[in-house]
A and B are shown apart, each in its own frame.
Chain A
């Protein structure tokens, strides 16, 4: 089996990140926005792992360890994020992100 080209890995990561970004920016449902964020985090994880394969030594180690941290972080973020969404949803009885436009004025 031919070795995977590093460029393909990074390309896949970039595509996944862009998809996540599009989800975050276009979907109005707050839960879907959170899912988009998860997708972006995982895309960055993939990028890290790809670089870890490409390089050797210390850089390789960093590339393998950082995704572990990111996964833990993503778990915590999902936890807090979901809790916040539930909290603010109770006030307005909607999960529409555009309903929360109270920053200005």
Chain B
């Protein structure tokens, strides 16, 4: 039985918030202070919170197998083709939307504290609400075009928010870079959608899943692989994978809540969501899966290594995000979509905590992001109390989680990924790619421990290096910022237990994979349901996907501990490399820099410079010589003729009249002459025709 729910409410609420706040921002554009902040904040936080409530209600009502579908209106139709503005709510949507709106609401609350002093408070909140709307449309869309609408929307909001402080031109460049990189990916998305439409004749997710469920699992098709790879190109753009990853570190130019919401928790994971949503397609394309696996693996390694060299705390976390996204795609590459989405969920919690914690530090230290000027921040005293102590607690929780140490959420999700990668089947030219990738994933887990622990040592567990002038003006962290950080910090530990095998009467399996089972393993789900029905509701079947490989887990934990120890040995005494005096900018130098900027340099040499040369050549040859020269020649010729004729023109009225009369007379003479010529020609024609 299909449940019903007004799904349009979920995106509508943030959209209304965006419209109201946008209108307020425009209306208050000329005032000195902007619109009343309290009212703006209330609307901005209430809108995503209410839509979180709607998602909760819809998740409560939705059936395991039959999704809730709303066709709001016909978007476009031509001939037999019909495309509605479909919304689709199944358990995958439910899981995504729960954390998107939940964490999103908390980050909106955090933004109230973070951006309160900013002149563009209302504008910022309007953009944030618009982002929530777009992200919800992306996830809730029932077909590729609707998702694409949200996909473009989040790209736009990302652009607007990266360049939010638009008086700094570097920030504008970062925003443009993000937009252009995403556009390249979007082209892949569109072409992939066309190819997919050519293959299965529909763009709706339900139809696509049905089409691939009917195919023989062993069968593959070139057009499917093409579609899968093109859509994956779109995902590399949005989710900052090789080759389109360079925009994400630059995107840290935006305010920190933006980095937490868009560039860590939600938007960048939409690529993983899309691949999982089209899981039926990808499961039929082993080559495409191998590509995803390798790309994810390389990105994870690259991001982790780059993370080692960052002095800017947000840049370090940004490369960490790139690396963790690589892990998610590794899981997608072995068709373990539920594992990938589980890491999406846990990563959303701990990375949002990390960014919000970094935001709290940046806020209280007056926008100081250079970790070389940090140290022992949890002991920093201002006005008799320690403003950053709660932030410190939350960051430790998140750090524990991302390292993959026991009890943290990363322990569950990251180890599951490594385990599934080792258990996956991917061969290329006879080489067991899956095992290689698994080894790299393990090593990357170790590097992750090194760079994350480095951040912790530089920020907290080393000598106090905060400059005196910063220390004098330390700001306290308001409760609207501290509360979300703490809630998410605790969440980053607790959310891992969703995969934990529970020996309760409620369920014998793991809640998370079981929740998504009808989406990713429908046949298995049907089998278990049938067995349950036969046993009259008692739990007889143990879900098998919950078993744990203790060797792999032990290896991952050991590597994490080794990484911790290495980082402790290296950075216990504070930062290494050039100090603040030698290098005022927080950009990495030397060896680290060449790692970090490798992609930018390659793109600069391969794409930007040739484009500039072509543009220059086109400018001189086509624009200046051909078009400009021709225009100039025509104009000059006309002017030349005009000058010549102007000397014929007489200033005297009578003389010009006489000339014009003479001209008219000449025409009157020529007309009969030319008609006479016509007679000659026709006569000649007759003569010729007589000859033939």
Contacts and interface: CB of A to CB of B under 8 A. Distances in A.
B651 interface: yes
Contacts of B656: 103
Nearest to A27: B654
Contacts of A103: 649, 651, 656
Nearest to A102: B651
A24 B652 contact: no
A25 B653 contact: no
B389 to A, nearest CB: 86
B657 A98 contact: no
Contact of B661 (A21, A100, A101): A21
Interface in A50-105: 97-98, 100-101, 103-104
Contacts of B646: 104
Contacts of B658: 25
A25 B651 contact: no
B654 A100 contact: no
Interface string A19-37: 0010011101000010000
Interface string B650-679: 011110111001000000000000000000
A40 to B, nearest CB: 11
DSSP majority for the B interface? helix
A104 B654 contact: no
Interface residues of B, number: 10
Contacts of B653: 97-98, 100-101
Contacts of A21: 661
Contacts of A97: 652-654
A97 B654 CA distance: 7
A101 B649 CA distance: 11
Q: Which of B646, B652, B661 has the most CB of A within 10 A?
A: B652
A25 B654 contact: yes
B661 A98 contact: no
A24 B651 contact: no
Contacts of A25: 654, 657-658, 661
A88 to B, nearest CB: 11
A104 B661 contact: no
A55 to B, nearest CB: 21
B358 to A, nearest CB: 74
A103 B656 CA distance: 11
A28 B649 CA distance: 19
Q: Which of B646, B652, B653, B656 has the most CB of A within 10 A?
A: B653
Given A104-B646, A104-B649, A28 B661 contact: no
B666 to A, nearest CB: 15
Q: Which of B646, B654, B656, B661 has the most CB of A within 10 A?
A: B654
Nearest to B653: A97
Nearest to B658: A25
A97 B651 CA distance: 11
A37 B128 CA distance: 81
Nearest to A96: B653
Contacts of B652: 97-98, 101
Contacts of B657: 24-25
A98 B654 CA distance: 7
Interface in A1-54: 21, 24-26, 28, 33
A32 B649 CA distance: 24
16 contacts: A21-B661, A24-B657, A25-B654, A25-B661, A26-B654, A28-B654, A97-B654, A98-B652, A98-B653, A98-B654, A100-B653, A101-B651, A103-B656, A104-B646, A104-B649, A104-B651
Given A21-B661, A24-B654, A97-B653, 9 more contacts: A24-B657, A25-B658, A25-B661, A28-B654, A97-B654, A98-B652, A98-B653, A98-B654, A104-B649
Interface of A: 21, 24-26, 28, 33, 97-98, 100-101, 103-104
The 10 residue pairs across chains A and B that have the minimum distance between CB atoms:
A101-B651, A104-B651, A97-B653, A25-B658, A98-B652, A25-B654, A101-B652, A97-B654, A100-B653, A104-B649
